[in-house]
Structure 1
């Protein structure tokens, strides 16, 4: 059956769908499902989700469905007491959905799940020692989530992280009295973040940075003493900023 949008509605085995053989005739009669739009038999995750959103009481019936997208949808809407059985599901997306909804005391075992997306789901929720555990995760995407949620006192653990995106998040959030220790970061984009946050008095640490973008930020924010140094910078834009600021200072 071809829908108004021109897309055929097929099930997870690629078979064309028809409402004639659907077990949800009563739901259809109430306007709570619509082939090609909201249908639990469709292979498209969005259509499955729309079905469960409109009919959450149907979710328990599909918790063990052979198609993983249906199990994901069922896990999203079913009573949480049905979800522990999904912690051992073969599909990471199903386990991740269970991890998002289960009480943490039940989901903690998934901290050792081999699939990063499952551990990411938990990193959005855990606190304390478990969040610290996420800071040491083997996957940088898990560490990045943890870096966004951890308190500033935890962030020094990631100052030397191998992933520049993680270090950039640390540079944005770490306490200012710890930030100077990151000035030697090998990634210019991280040093740019540092230059934007450091106290003007500390910007001397970056005044001779090899990256002109870092020096440009320094020239915009540093004290007059560093401006004297930057007025002869090799880069014309950095020189211009330094000389303009010096001229303004002399006039004031």
Structure 2
């Protein structure tokens, strides 16, 4: 059975006799019971109606049905969006978070709905983004960590969520990675060992996890490699030995 027919069977048809559009849109084929209808309690039918007749969206911006308001908000001219910024339903505010101009996004920065704040964090200009670094929801802070300018990531190096810190570890300037050398998560310390300046690798060369020390051995300077030849883990010792051998073989020959 086609999807449209299935929806007609499951969604009660609106009463066209009481509809304001009966004499114009209905007769013109611009709306259709069970398929393209603003009076139906069906999001798909309402959306089809506004898609075909966006000029009527402002008439429903304050409608009593939350889904009708939310769908109407998708089709409203942007100058008519501000009154909906404090709409009581989060579905309406989620639409606004995608659509309002940047200068109005700040009003949604502390919205009670996480999805609204995530969209704001994804759209907000960088110079306004740092204020969301203390958001109580980790996923909002993830979006902040992905977009915050590298030089402003310091405040997130000790974030309570490991996913936020992992993003910080991949983005923070390499010279500052020493701040994360003792992170609680092994994966994050491995990223630190892979990215930090070679002269700073000694900070993490005694890490309790051998996989971190292995990453150090792959990049360390010869003097640090010497100390890793006595590492308790064979894989680390082998890596250090191989890297030392490679360094020696690439040294230029000196004339006697």
TM-score (norm 1): 0.77
Of 3, 12, 15, the residue aligned with 2:11 is 15
Larger radius of gyration: 2
Alpha-carbon contact 1:158-1:166 (below 8 Å) kept: yes
Residues 119, 6 of structure 1: alpha-carbon distance in 2 compared, 3 angstrom cutoff: closer
Q: Hey, what's the Cα distance between the residues in 2 that align with 1:135 and 1:235? A: 39
Alpha-carbon contact 1:135-1:146 (below 8 Å) kept: yes
Q: Which residue is equivalent to 1:85?
A: 83
Q: Hey, what's the Cα distance between the residues in 2 that align with 1:17 and 1:9? A: 10
Q: Does 1:113 align with 2:111?
A: yes
Q: Which residue is equivalent to 1:243?
A: 241
Q: Does 1:196 align with 2:194?
A: yes
Q: 1:106-142, CA deviations, whole angstroms, 9 ceiling, x for partnerless residues? A: 3423223222222222222333663221112222222
Q: Which residue is equivalent to 1:96?
A: 94
Alpha-carbon contact 1:144-1:166 (below 8 Å) kept: yes
Shift of 1:79: 0.7
Unaligned stretches of 5+ residues in structure 1 = none
SS of corresponding position for 1:122:
helix
Q: Hey, what's the Cα distance between the residues in 2 that align with 1:95 and 1:126? A: 15
Q: Does 1:179 align with 2:177?
A: yes
SS of corresponding position for 1:88:
coil
Q: Hey, what's the Cα distance between the residues in 1 that align with 2:27 and 2:226? A: 80
Q: Hey, what's the Cα distance between the residues in 2 that align with 1:232 and 1:163? A: 35
Shift of 1:183: 0.8
Q: Hey, what's the Cα distance between the residues in 2 that align with 1:98 and 1:116? A: 14
Of 189, 205, 208, the residue aligned with 1:207 is 205
Q: Which residue is equivalent to 1:60?
A: 58
Q: Hey, what's the Cα distance between the residues in 2 that align with 1:205 and 1:39? A: 66
Unaligned stretches of 5+ residues in structure 2 = 251-256
Alpha-carbon contact 2:111-2:117 (below 8 Å) kept: yes
Shift of 1:198: 0.7
Residues 234, 94 of structure 1: alpha-carbon distance in 2 compared, 3 angstrom cutoff: farther
Q: Hey, what's the Cα distance between the residues in 1 that align with 2:89 and 2:57? A: 18
Residues 43, 246 of structure 1: alpha-carbon distance in 2 compared, 3 angstrom cutoff: farther
Residues 245, 8 of structure 1: alpha-carbon distance in 2 compared, 3 angstrom cutoff: same
Shift of 1:95: 0.8
Q: Which residue is equivalent to 1:141?
A: 139
Shift of 1:96: 2.1
Q: Which residue is equivalent to 2:167?
A: 169
Tell me the matched-pair count: 244
SS of corresponding position for 1:124:
helix
Q: Does 1:122 align with 2:120?
A: yes
Residues 238, 58 of structure 1: alpha-carbon distance in 2 compared, 3 angstrom cutoff: farther
Aligned-residue CA RMSD (Å) = 3.5
TM-score (norm 2): 0.76
Q: Which residue is equivalent to 2:254?
A: none
